[in-house]
Amino acid sequence: MKLVVVGSGLAGLLVAIEASESIADAEVTLVTKGSLLESNTAWAQGGVAVVGPQPDTVVSHVTDTRRAGAGLSDPAAAMALAADGPTAIDRLLELGVTFDREGGVLCRALEAAHSHPRVLRAGGDATGAEIVRALVVALNDRAVTVLEHTHAIDVELRDRAGAASEVAGLLVRTPAGDVERLDADAVVLATGGAGQLYATTTNPAVATADGVAIALRAGAEVADLEMVQFHPTVLAGEHPFLVSEAVRGEGAVLLDDAGRRFMVDVHPDAELAPRDVVARAIAGQEARQGSPVMLDATRLGAAAIAQRFPTIVAACAERGLDITTQPVPVTPAAHYWMGGVRTDLAGRTSVPGLWAAGEVACTGVHGANRLASNSLLEAAVFARRTVVALAEAAATGPRAAAPSGGAWTAAAPLDLEDGPGAADWDRAQLQDLLWEYAGLTRDADGLARAAHVLAGFATPSLLPDAMFGLQARDVEDANLLLAARALVAAAAARADSLGAHTRRDSLPVGADLAADTQHHVLVAPLRYGVGLDFGSDAELV
């Protein structure tokens, strides 16, 4: 099997490592558009949620996951996540990941919406960086071809007699700007999220919705694209920086401009309510007082904060703030995409030969709002499940995904074409547009406005320029525009509020969330055009 993995976060690295070991005669290539060390995983602070000793249980973790997901979390997916979690952690330990310990026992922290302390951490608040470090070392010891600074552009499909088209390869942009084709029996998208759709985000610059856009252009189903999580606590200011959920888990509180804990009036769990609840409450309080709210961790003690959260302390210091002795200003920011490429519980998409794992995938596990620290666990668990299925496919041939269970609506078509007279645009315009009309809260008029403006943006061509080569920025912008149009369409289609998707025009203030707990599945026309039409015998430079 010729396997191409796209992405170098936890999911991509682990798929490549496991596939190189467990799939006989596999030729594994890992493509990443930055360096191996650049990914959402590398920025992850809080940790990995995994069921711990009694009184914690798998059922408790499943219950917490589904409760945070506002009733949209798929039961089978949540059970797979929680039940397979301990084995996945054991594998990360085998591969050299060093989680924090006290007295030889793994440290377990409490985070928002968890019933028990179950969040493993590394380096205090540098969990993702430690995971990436260990997996890159492990990858370098395996027979995997690594192509850094190489952009995935599109999967290439070939027709099968009497059956759906299947993956035949991957078109990539080389560091020199040339376009090349990689032969592939299977392509695994592990490209992470899409924080760069928004003006303020916790995500690195590489999070440009590449995997979802590639899947849409291949005709794959996507689901729950309206479900975007905004992290409640990011340092407010010109240079935002995530302040981990774990800080509130240790006892930090949120204060208004009068020094009052306003979250106690919002939710029984106060600062430890689900992220969507806390983020909306902070945004509402900011609107009322005209300034950011404050996160006060001083009650933890300066020494304890410095030991437990060294990365956050350093980031605050760089911005002239001392979180150990004073409250710091925080605000919500785009953080995680619960939606993505629809897969079953083994990474299969609706396109034979195309797979997805990690944040880019939508198994339904997170529902309408991801439980804190479930993202790294999801990447580890479903990466391993994907490799098991890939090994089966190597022996029997690929097959389309079956529904993973739960309530999935039938695929509805997306209209993603440029409108007449589409004009040039810059990324800041797109980010500001989504922040205003498809951010923490939405309504029909705003979404219609966003759709109209996005239709007037011209899709950058992905054909290489004859003289200068294909520009990396154009690849990302084409992907961002396609994903933005799909996200807005999905948000308009879900008329009721649910979890992270809050419609101002559907519910009176204080009303219970509506009970539309269907996963909304969308699909673009096969090979939605962006200018790529090389054909099977094309000569690529």
DSSP string of 461-492, one letter each residue? P-SPPTTT---HHHHHHHHHHHHHHHHHHHHH
Residue type, 49: A
Phi first, then psi, for residue 407 (nearest 5°) are -105, 105
Task: Indicate if 275 belongs to the active site.
Answer: yes
CB 224 within 8 A of CB 520: yes
Give bridge partners of residue 31 from the DSSP assignment: 6, 147
Q: In this structure, are strands 253-255 and 293-296 parallel, antiparallel, or unpaired?
A: antiparallel
Taking residue 41's Cβ as centre, other Cβ atoms within 10 Å add up to: 28
> Angle 157-379-387 (CA atoms, 0-180°, nearest 5)?
55
Calpha distance 108→337 (Å, rounded): 25
pLDDT in tens, 271-291: 998 888 999 999 999 999 999
Give me the mean pLDDT over the 531-541 stretch.
37
pLDDT in tens, 293-321: 999 999 999 999 999 999 999 999 999 99
Give the pLDDT confidence score for residue 534 in this predicted structure. 40
Report pLDDT for 125: 87
Q: Could you tell me which of 444, 87, 122, 109 has the C-alpha nearest to residue 248?
A: 109
Q: Which burial class, exposed, middle or buried, applies to 354 when counting CB atoms under 10 A from its CB (0-12, 13-18, 19+)?
A: buried
What pLDDT sits at residue 440? 95
Q: 275, 308, 385, 485: which is the annotated catalytic residue?
A: 275
* pLDDT over threshold 50, residue 509: no
Q: Is the dihedral of CA 156, 26, 12, 381 positive or negative?
A: positive
Question: In angstroms, rounded to a whole number, what is the distance separating the alpha carbons of residues 356 and 189?
Answer: 4
Each residue's pLDDT tens digit, 85-102: 999 999 999 999 999 999
Phi and psi based region of residue 162 (left: phi greater than 0; alpha: psi -120 to 50; beta: remaining): left
Helix (H, G, I), strand (E, B) or coil at 128: helix
Distance CA 301, CA 118 (A): 23
Query: Comparing 172 with 533, which gets the higher pLDDT?
Result: 172
Domains of the chain, earliest start first = 2-227+336-396 (3.50.50.60), 233-334 (3.90.700.10), 412-523 (1.20.58.100)
> Whose CA is closest to 188, among 476, 34, 383, 404?
383
Which one, of 411, 414, 406, lies nearest residue 521 by Cα? 411
Q: Which helix (H) or strand (E) holds 323?
A: none
Range list of H helices, 189-274 = 210-217, 245-249
pLDDT (0 to 100) of residue 171: 95
8 A C-beta contact, residue 283 and residue 256: no
Asked if residue 172 lies in contact with residue 150, where contact means CB atoms within 8 angstroms, the answer is: yes
Spatial contact of 306 and 329, defined as CB atoms under 8 Å apart: no
At residue 322, the pLDDT reads: 97
Mean pLDDT, the chain, rounded, equals 91
pLDDT band at 409 (very low <50, low <70, confident <90, very high): confident
* Per-residue confidence band for 190, with pLDDT thresholds at 50, 70 and 90: very high
Instruction: Give percent above pLDDT 70 in the chain.
Output: 92
Backbone φ and ψ for 31, nearest 5 degrees, come out as: -110, 130
Look up residue 90 and give its amino acid.
D
Q: Is the pLDDT of residue 513 over 50?
A: no
